[in-house]
């Protein structure tokens, strides 16, 4: 039985700025799902206006139960759990290569009748914790200049890159890019010497090129036609009837919103113009209804969250926790960059969720889970400071 005193102490040791900023964005995003998904919900034969809102609310309740459970697990206990988590996520992603349900050209869903899950989303937290654990495990050896590190380095690379490779084979380019991006940032910040980093990345580039050429030779393609078409993203409104349809309608939505917005529930672009506007394109509907001025608070919230996580990364003395914070900040930032970059027509539109605002199960569970881990790290950091004093 958890005592009220212990609950109060845990909450007191949490990063409350991070917690309440995240909570505010989650509440805002959840309420906006009602209006963004209204057309999709009504068109669904078995749905009412609040269909997607209720589903997302159930996911959030489950995620917060998980949040509380994670708060009870110290980070030193992750080493025991990581082995089983890694194998489970690896197995699910291997399964998708053979049996995955195709959604918008990507075989990245497992349909369990009651619910669909996307294992590639769970690969992101596992990748972050795996890299952080390996860096801590081999730290003393990696900083020892007298030892050879090739075996350790390629072990780290092998355990990490299996996930983006599998997701790439599932034809989910956006998620593969984010997984690879997390790896690159954490690898470059690792205790591995600059010379060894350069050498291993160079070799990795050669291996990658050979792998892609082999794939082209046997499969006849590297990217599918749908993926290649997304690279034609410049001036989307000139290609309205083909590749630019989604992004151009997002431009129209943002333009309609102007500075102050058209008002809650009054978006016109959500009516058949933007497919599934409550998922990857949700920011376009939020901009149309709320306007640029109100949307600036969303970016402020993102900056606060990233700043608090990176600040903790610099403060904590625990090596593994430092890398977990860095990986989590990278994870959130890359989702914002890839989602909004595609929405604004700056990069190809690859279809990844926008943190705290998009409807979705697997991503929401993973994101809230990692925020819980960050809070555990903050609690441990605060308690360690008290012990030192």
Whether residues 117 and 214 share a domain: the answer is yes
Domain boundary among 204, 225, 246: 225
Residue 64 has a pLDDT of: 93
Whether residues 63 and 82 share a domain: the answer is no
CB–CB of 60/30 below 8 Å?
Answer: yes
Whether residues 83 and 197 share a domain: the answer is yes
Whether residues 254 and 155 share a domain: the answer is no
Domain span at residue 214 reads 77-225
Residue 274 has a pLDDT of: 78
Check residue 236 and report its DSSP letter: G
Cross-strand bridge partners of residue 106: 103
Query: Cα separations (Å) of 206 from 163, 199, 219?
Result: 19, 11, 20
Whether residues 12 and 143 share a domain: the answer is no
CB–CB of 117/363 below 8 Å?
Answer: no
Residue 389 has a pLDDT of: 46
In angstroms, rounded to a whole number, what is the distance separating the alpha carbons of residues 219 and 234? 29
Whether residues 86 and 3 share a domain: the answer is no
pLDDT tens for the chain, 389 residues long, are 456 777 788 888 899 999 999 999 999 999 988 888 877 766 664 667 788 888 899 999 999 999 999 998 899 888 888 999 999 999 999 988 877 666 666 777 787 777 778 889 999 999 999 999 999 999 999 998 888 888 999 999 999 999 999 999 888 888 999 999 999 999 999 999 999 999 999 999 999 999 888 888 887 777 777 777 777 777 888 777 777 778 888 888 888 888 888 888 888 888 777 777 888 888 989 999 899 898 999 999 999 999 999 999 999 989 999 999 999 999 999 999 999 998 888 888 887 899 999 988 899 999 999 999 999 999 999 887 655 44
* Token digits of residue 370: 């990692």
Which residues, including other chains, have CB under 8 Å from residue 321's CB and lie 6 or more apart?
75, 132, 377, 380, 381
In angstroms, rounded to a whole number, what is the distance separating the alpha carbons of residues 52 and 364? 14
Whether residues 113 and 255 share a domain: the answer is no
Residue 386 has a pLDDT of: 58
Which residues, including other chains, have CB under 8 Å from residue 102's CB and lie 6 or more apart?
109
Whether residues 46 and 159 share a domain: the answer is no
If one counts the domains in the chain, the total is: 2
Whether residues 188 and 304 share a domain: the answer is no
Whether residues 137 and 279 share a domain: the answer is no
CB–CB of 339/356 below 8 Å?
Answer: no
Whether residues 239 and 356 share a domain: the answer is yes
Domain boundary among 207, 225, 243: 225
Whether residues 190 and 124 share a domain: the answer is yes
Domain boundary among 182, 202, 225: 225
In angstroms, rounded to a whole number, what is the distance separating the alpha carbons of residues 134 and 9? 31
């Amino acid at each position: 039985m958890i005592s009220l005193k212990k609950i109060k102490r845990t909450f007191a040791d949490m990063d409350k700025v991070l917690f309440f900023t995240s909570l505010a964005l989650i509440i805002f995003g959840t309420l906006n799902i009602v209006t963004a998904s209204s057309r999709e919900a009504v068109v669904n034969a078995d749905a009412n206006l609040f269909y997607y809102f209720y589903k997302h609310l159930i996911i959030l309740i489950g995620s917060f139960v998980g949040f509380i459970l994670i708060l009870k697990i110290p980070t030193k206990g992750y080493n025991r759990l990581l082995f089983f988590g890694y194998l489970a996520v690896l197995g699910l992603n291997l399964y998708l290569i053979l049996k995955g349900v195709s959604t918008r050209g990507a075989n990245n869903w497992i349909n369990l009748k009651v619910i669909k899950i996307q294992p590639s989303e769970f690969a992101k937290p596992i990748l972050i914790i795996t890299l952080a654990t390996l860096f801590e495990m081999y730290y003393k050896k990696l900083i020892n200049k007298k030892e050879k590190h090739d075996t350790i380095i390629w072990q780290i690379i092998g355990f990490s890159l299996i996930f983006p490779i599998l997701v790439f084979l599932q034809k989910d380019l956006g998620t593969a890019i984010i997984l690879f991006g997390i790896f690159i940032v954490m690898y470059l910040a690792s205790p591995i010497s600059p010379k060894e980093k350069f050498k291993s990345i160079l070799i990795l580039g050669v291996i990658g090129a050979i792998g892609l050429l082999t794939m082209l030779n046997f499969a006849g393609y590297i990217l599918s036609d749908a993926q290649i078409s997304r690279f034609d993203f410049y001036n989307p409104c000139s290609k309205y009837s083909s590749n630019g349809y989604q992004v151009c309608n997002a431009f129209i939505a943002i333009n309609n919103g102007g500075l102050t917005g058209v008002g809650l529930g009054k978006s016109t672009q959500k009516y058949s113009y933007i497919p599934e506007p409550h998922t990857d394109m949700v920011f376009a509907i939020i901009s149309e209804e709320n306007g640029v001025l109100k949307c600036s608070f969303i970016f402020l919230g993102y900056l606060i969250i990233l700043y608090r996580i990176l600040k903790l990364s610099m403060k904590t003395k625990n090596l593994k926790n430092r890398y977990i914070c860095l990986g989590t900040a990278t994870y959130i930032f890359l989702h914002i960059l890839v989602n909004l970059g595609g929405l604004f027509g700056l990069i190809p539109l690859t279809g990844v969720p926008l943190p705290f605002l998009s409807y979705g199960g697997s991503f929401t569970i993973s994101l809230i889970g990692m925020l819980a881990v960050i809070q555990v790290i903050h609690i441990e950091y605060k308690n360690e400071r008290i012990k030192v004093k």
